[in-house]
Amino acid sequence: MSAALVAAAGLWMGAGSAWAQVSSPTLDAVKKRGQLICGIDTGIPGYAYQDSSGEWQGLDVSLCRAIADAVVGSPKKVKYIGLTSKERFSVLKSGEIDVLIRDSEHSFLRNTALGLELPAVNFFTGQTFMVRKNLGVGHLKELNGATICVLTGTTLETNIADYNRANGIEIKTLLFEKPEEAFAAADSGRCDGYTDDGGSVAAARSTMKTPADWIFIPETIGGLQPIGPLTRGGDEAWTRLVRWVHYSMLEAEVLGITKANADQMAQNPSNPDVRRFFGLEGDFGKLLGVDNEWAKRIVKDIGNYGEVYEASFGAKGLGLPRGMNNLYDKGGLQTLPTWH
């Protein structure tokens, strides 16, 4: 403990040497190239999609932008490579992309067998339900007797069966092969609800004729699915950078810094946390291998995590409540180490 403190103090004081200690092949390559190569989904609502002008948008895309902003100083200096789920990990391992941010679940085998690093979780989800508002149902247990549209060939159905058995109720399922068929069935009233992971349910809801007629059930089943970026193993400094880029967006939200008020908040702040965040104190940028204003740029150009969530999944996007993705002090799971 004391050794760590001494080391930390040493780093704090020896700013120049701290810079030299950040050695990362990926970080060096990105700086040299002047561009981040980000592996993303070929198109999925919420995470990564193209708006009608062809610009990439979404939660994952915002993280790509934030990393580029921190490293090369502009959120626009990103080359997006759309990847299918089958090729994503081999493309990451081959070095063709710098980071994979493609609605990918963090799992034991991906970490160990594939040797990939799991820097941060930018989206917590689980099997989520949406039901018709006029059912008057607020909780999962009250769905006894209701029929839910489900996709086949997934664990969604077994999760429901397990839940039924554990709670002694009967949620009926109606199976479908294709999402579009299931959406249509739900919309036409053949079932009372639809279930899938949180992001997919939110997307399904926005295809309904009247999305406002459908509500989300707050509980999820089948365990937690942590979704986030992945990096190649063996490049710890790069993994750290990706992790802290995500944390910086959380820290901004914790401190109440938004895209709109960032400039104003940066004017001579008295709060030491805010001072450290904006790089007015400490050498946090240098310790990551970037300049000291990296976090300020991110919040100015992209916004804090809450703002990004609002635009992609939240009220301005798919209408999915923050739920698990809220900050720790608002009942959510998004948390971060202290900024010291």
Using CB under 8 A, list all residues that contact another protein: 29, 42-46, 49-54, 79-84, 86-87, 90-91, 93-96, 180, 183, 203, 206-207, 317-318
Question: Least distance (Å) from another protein to the CB of residue 65?
Answer: 15
Rounded CA-CA distance 314/283 in Å is: 34
Question: Least distance (Å) from another protein to the CB of residue 154?
Answer: 19
Please answer whether residues 44 and 84 qualify as being in contact, where contact means their C-beta atoms are separated by less than 8 angstroms: no
Please answer whether residues 118 and 243 qualify as being in contact, where contact means their C-beta atoms are separated by less than 8 angstroms: no
Rounded CA-CA distance 268/173 in Å is: 58
Rounded CA-CA distance 273/256 in Å is: 11
Which of 90, 167 has the CB closer to another protein?
90
Which of 89, 339 has the CB closer to another protein?
89
Question: Least distance (Å) from another protein to the CB of residue 115?
Answer: 14
Question: Least distance (Å) from another protein to the CB of residue 52?
Answer: 5
Question: Least distance (Å) from another protein to the CB of residue 204?
Answer: 9
Is 164 buried (19+), middle (13-18) or exposed (0-12) by CB count in 10 A?
A: middle
**101 contact partners, CB below 8 Å, separation of at least 6:** 38, 39, 40, 48, 60, 61, 63, 64, 122, 228, 229, 230
Which of 149, 203 has the CB closer to another protein?
203
Which of 73, 319 has the CB closer to another protein?
319
Which of 63, 257 has the CB closer to another protein?
63
Which of 18, 116 has the CB closer to another protein?
116
Distances in whole angstroms, Cα of residue 96 to Cα of each of 56, 67, 99, 163, 235: 19, 17, 9, 42, 15
Distances in whole angstroms, Cα of residue 85 to Cα of each of 78, 91, 188, 240: 21, 11, 31, 25
Question: Least distance (Å) from another protein to the CB of residue 225?
Answer: 20
Which of 173, 206 has the CB closer to another protein?
206
Question: Least distance (Å) from another protein to the CB of residue 302?
Answer: 18
Structure tokens, 25: 């092949």
Please answer whether residues 159 and 267 qualify as being in contact, where contact means their C-beta atoms are separated by less than 8 angstroms: no
Q: In 31-67, which positions are buried (b, 16+ CB within 10 angstroms) versus exposed (e)? A: beeebbbbbbbeebbbbbbeeeeeebbbbbbbbbbbb
Strand partners, 78: 36
Rounded CA-CA distance 108/100 in Å is: 17
Question: Least distance (Å) from another protein to the CB of residue 317?
Answer: 5
Which of 85, 261 has the CB closer to another protein?
85
